């Protein structure tokens, strides 16, 4: 099965009316897509009672891709990590994952590593450690450093992901040198993951303020030809995986939901068991 969705449920104005309250957006979002990437878990590990509320607001078949907490992926280090030990951090994160699992709504963990996480022995050792800490869960690995895909390492990288039962995150993103990775449509697990960031090279390299960075990094609207390329890559992944998750992360300009809808139409996919919609805002639009 192919699951199409977007990152988060708040930043998609195309899906909601101006009167939609923030508390209602997840329910409304789940009337359009069967899965979502939860990005707030990168900044703080959610409480089980919050997770129970999210799960109760979505259909039984709805799936959450839960982004790994920033302390796990090395974005946050040292005194900035609000846990006394690494074990405490992983225990808290596993508690959150188990809350999703209890409802049958955990698609996978998304461990997105920073650009400085390059292909070297100590980082491979850490990935083995991560696998041990999250042994009971499906874990998707996203690299942001091109060394993992250099000619001398690419096949070994993919073999390592298979060996460790990691999901290979296939990325469509600007090709900006060492801080980006090429699109390599290879599945290493029964689940495959295509994560779509846009192709805004200038925005990807932007080194301005944090606010400016968020406004431009994923500012991109895919055209039909580009979406068709992604359709073909998805079909390639579907050949080797039972489940394919396609997440549009080009949220800076609000294009993710629009492109996801266009992509769904190109794939000729109709989802059932979604949340009911009061008004079909998209009737005749795509």
pLDDT digits (tens, 9 = 90+) for 86-137: 999 999 999 999 999 999 999 999 999 999 999 999 999 999 999 999 999 9
> Percent of the chain, pLDDT > 90?
79
**Chain length of the chain:** 286
pLDDT of residue 65: 98
DSSP 138-177: -EEEE---GGGGSTTTHHHHHHHHHHTTEEEEEEE----G
Place of tokens 């225990």: 91
List pLDDT tens digits, range 54-82: 999 999 999 999 999 999 998 876 667 78
Contact call for residues 15 and 254 (beta carbons, < 8 A) = no
- Report the predicted TM-score, pTM, of the whole model to 2 decimal places: 0.93
Decide which of 3.20.20.70, 3.20.20.410, 1.10.1060.10, 3.90.1570.10 is the CATH code for 2-267.
3.20.20.410
pLDDT at 213 over 80: no
Phi, psi of 85 (to 5 degrees): -135, 165
Beta-strand relationship, 139-142 and 2-7: unpaired
Residues 6 or more apart from 106 whose CB is under 8 A from it? 63, 64, 66, 97, 100, 137, 138
Are the C-beta atoms of 280 and 17 separated by less than 8 Å? Answer: no
Q: Is 80 exceeded by the pLDDT of residue 214? A: no
Summarize pLDDT for 13-23 with one digit per residue, the tens: 889 888 889 99
Residue 131, number of CB atoms within 10 A of its CB: 16
279 token code pair = 């008004």
Of residues 136 and 179, more confidence is placed in 136
pLDDT tens-digit readout, 242-262 = 999 999 999 988 899 999 999
Q: Residue 179: pLDDT band by 50, 70, 90 thresholds?
A: confident
Q: Distance between CA 225 and CA 227 in Å, rounded?
A: 5
Q: What does DSSP assign to residue 14? A: G
Task: Give the pLDDT confidence of 22-37 residue by residue, as tens digits.
Answer: 999 999 999 999 999 9
Collect all residues with Cβ–Cβ distance below 8 Å to 13 and sequence separation of at least 6.
254
- What's the maximum distance between 2 C-alpha atoms anywhere in the chain? 54
pLDDT score, position 187: 98
């Amino acid at each position: 099965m192919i699951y199409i969705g977007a990152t988060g449920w708040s930043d998609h104005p195309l899906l909601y009316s101006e009167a939609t309250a923030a508390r209602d957006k997840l329910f409304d979002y789940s009337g359009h897509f069967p899965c979502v990437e939860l990005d707030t878990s990168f900044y703080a590990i959610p409480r089980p009672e919050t997770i129970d509320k999210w799960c109760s607001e979505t259909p039984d078949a709805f799936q959450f891709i839960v982004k790994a907490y920033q302390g796990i992926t090395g974005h946050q280090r040292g005194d900035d990590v609000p846990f006394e030990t690494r074990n405490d951090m992983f225990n808290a994160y596993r508690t959150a994952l188990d809350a999703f699992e209890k409802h049958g709504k955990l698609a996978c963990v998304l461990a997105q590593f920073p650009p400085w996480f390059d292909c070297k022995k100590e980082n491979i050792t850490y990935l083995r450690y991560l696998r041990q800490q999250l042994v009971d869960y499906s874990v998707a690995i996203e690299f942001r450093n091109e060394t993992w895909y250099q000619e001398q390492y690419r096949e070994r990288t993919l073999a390592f992901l298979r060996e460790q039962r990691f999901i290979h995150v296939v990325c469509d993103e600007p090709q900006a040198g060492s801080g980006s990775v090429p699109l390599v449509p290879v599945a290493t697990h029964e689940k495959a993951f295509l994560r779509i960031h846009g192709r805004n090279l200038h925005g990807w390299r932007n080194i301005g303020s944090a606010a400016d960075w968020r406004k431009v990094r994923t500012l991109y609207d895919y055209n039909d030809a580009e979406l068709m390329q992604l359709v073909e890559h998805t079909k390639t992944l579907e050949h080797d995986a039972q489940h394919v998750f396609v997440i549009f992360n080009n949220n800076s300009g609000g294009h993710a939901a629009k492109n996801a809808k266009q992509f769904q139409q190109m794939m000729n996919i109709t989802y059932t068991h979604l949340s009911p919609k009061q008004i079909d805002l998209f009737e005749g639009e795509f």
